[in-house]
Amino acid sequence: MLINFILIVIVLLGAGMLIMRSITKKKEQKVEQEVEQDDKTYTLEKMTEFVKRRLDEITKINLYDIGLSEEELKRRKKKKYELKKALKGCTYGDVNDKKYVKELIYDLLLKEYGVDETNISKAIPFDIPSLLTDQDKFDILIYMYKKEFGYEALTQMIKKYNLATLKYISGETKPSYVITGEEISDIFEKEQLVLSFADKLNVVVQRIYQHYKGYSSIDEVRDMNIDGVSGGVSGLPESFLSQVAQTDGDYLDQVLENKVPRACDSIWIFFQGKSIRLAFLSFGTESELKRVCQNIYKYNNPGQLSDTNGYKINEMKDGSRVVVVRPSFSETWAFFVRKFDVKRATLEQLILFPGKEKAIDLLKFLVKGARIISLTGEQGCGKTTMLMGMIENIYETMNIRVQETAFELHLRKIYPTRNILTFRETETISGQEGLDVQKKTDGSVNIIGEVATDPVASWMIQAAQVASKFTLFTHHAKTFPNLVTALRNSMLRTGVFTDERTAEEQVVQVLNFDIHLVKDFRGRRYIERVTECIPLEDKNEYNFDHRKEKTLEGKMDKFFDNATHYFTKVTDRQLYTYVNIMEYIDGEYVLTNKISDQNIKEMRSNMDETDMEAFDRFVEENWGTKASASKENTVTKRGRKPKQALQN
């Protein structure tokens, strides 16, 4: 009996232990599930889903079904309208609408979703720096810098840590402009930032916003005061992966492990003349790059970007120019945003090197003297910005008419009280038609943002002759003869002229000065030269000396003299010469050859008395002759002969 009792007790104790263990295990599993669920609840993905759902509910709710008072109904309708407007406007680059939407997301997360000091680190591990990604660190840095410097945040960071320098990175044999993840990590460590809960939540809100309504990883970068930003312009396109898989499996593994950049990893900024790759940022996927490309150009409904219409040129709400391309027109989705800082577009801020005072005065006098001026140079050398700076010196009494491919100059933002109207090309209105309309709008000055097509070049020459007082335009020519040749060929191709010499003669009679800008490999931008075009007069060199000759042999000699003059004129007569008025020599702007008497005379006639006196002093100080009484075209202060323009 005793043995049986002991066995029963042992069995009961064992069963009890098993039951207790089972209960404990279930409790532990339940706690783990709750913890796991809690972790998932406060991830960026879950919070983004919540924000999308709530904003969708707010904008689509029927206010008439919830029994509101008349006053409350009006208030709620107004807020609903403001939110719908902001949700639409923030995708166009409107920073005010973006701020409104972000404030609403902040309130939703704080008041409805229950984000607090404890669970916010489940979205971004603020308290464990070793777990932060390069993008997390950059987002925190740019937020904290923005609190102090506003939209100069990125510029201040780059300058403080000297990031815009040529450097070697692993795997590359040549230096390049790049900002790496290691540099961002070093900066983050050096800054020793202390974030409040509000700071952390604002960083989370920005991350949610940029993947919901913003431009992904470039959202904050695009708002900064830099020259531009682009994406999809480097790395391996998705379409190449299948080709790589068939030929090189090892290379494909490297791509999948993110050792080889893909097109969606391509983010570049244009900063003070330098194209800098942000190696630490990425769109993550091809679909995210595609989403950004499909949204970034939509301001003012420019039309659909499609396979048949594979590019769009437009502006954003803040005045930035945006160009978007897509397959099959390009090998991958890509975009280019160029920003023009109208506050800095003055000659004093653009011309920086020694001798700048004389260079600035020269450009001012050329504009005040109503000269027809071309600004030439490669892309990104600062032609448009320099043009904006020169326009400041056009007399207030002159009406300005502008023709552009996309709105870039935005002159009315700088000069709201002046008579200025800008036209641009559309799908149905060509640049030629736009220029034709300008003839009938009482304009004194024609400004052409870019002479990029033959019809526009042809019309520009014609308009400069008869339709306006003077013209300013930009062109991509490398040398002055190239500029003349390009304009001449445009006249021929449009059928305005059929003879090369006649067309060239029209060009050189119109064109007064060329300002050639350069961007060197260090990213420095400066004026390489200011060149004057001097048309050569067609003098009548024939003579009648054969009448004085008594012999047939003598008469034939005089006849052949005239014949020689004739064939010289027909075959190889030089129509113009050109000299450099100013050059950039050894890091300094130097005035060289004197402006021709003809141009000095015409410039003086277009100036008011004050500017005329200042111009006379300028000519006398720099070339040693009085502007009103100059006799020689070739005299210089140093006694040098005219130098022909640089043949780049």
Tell me the per-residue pLDDT of 39-58, one tens digit each, with 9 for 90 and over. 567 888 999 999 999 888 88
Read off φ and ψ for residue 519, nearest 5 degrees.
-120, 115
pLDDT over 70, % of the chain:
85
Range in 47-56, 132-141, 204-213, 252-261 with the lowest mean pLDDT: 252-261
Range in 418-422, 501-505, 631-635 with the lowest mean pLDDT: 631-635
This prediction's pTM: 0.73
pLDDT of residue 294: 92
Range in 90-94, 127-131, 194-198, 567-571 with the lowest mean pLDDT: 567-571
pLDDT over 90, % of the chain:
35
Compute the average pLDDT of residues 480-490: 91
Return the ∠ at Cα 565 (arms to 561 and 570), rounded to 5°.
145
Q: How many angstroms separate the CA atoms of 367 and 592, rounded? A: 19
Domain 343-536+574-629 is found in CATH 3.40.50.300: yes
The single-letter code of the amino acid at 391 is I
The answer to whether residues 628 and 616 touch, using CB atoms and an 8 Å cutoff, is: yes
Instruction: Return mean pLDDT, the chain.
Output: 83
The answer to whether residues 475 and 483 touch, using CB atoms and an 8 Å cutoff, is: yes
Compute the average pLDDT of residues 263-287: 90
Range in 22-36, 201-215, 500-514 with the lowest mean pLDDT: 22-36
Q: How many angstroms separate the CA atoms of 10 and 6, rounded? A: 6
pLDDT of residue 647: 42
pLDDT of residue 249: 55
Strand partners, 535: 576
pLDDT exceeds 80 at position 340? no
The single-letter code of the amino acid at 12 is L
The single-letter code of the amino acid at 317 is K
Which CATH number applies to 124-339: 1.10.10.10, 3.30.460.80, 3.30.450.90, 1.10.3080.10?
Answer: 3.30.450.90
pLDDT exceeds 50 at position 30? no
pLDDT exceeds 70 at position 572? no
> Which tokens belong to 404?
């552009």
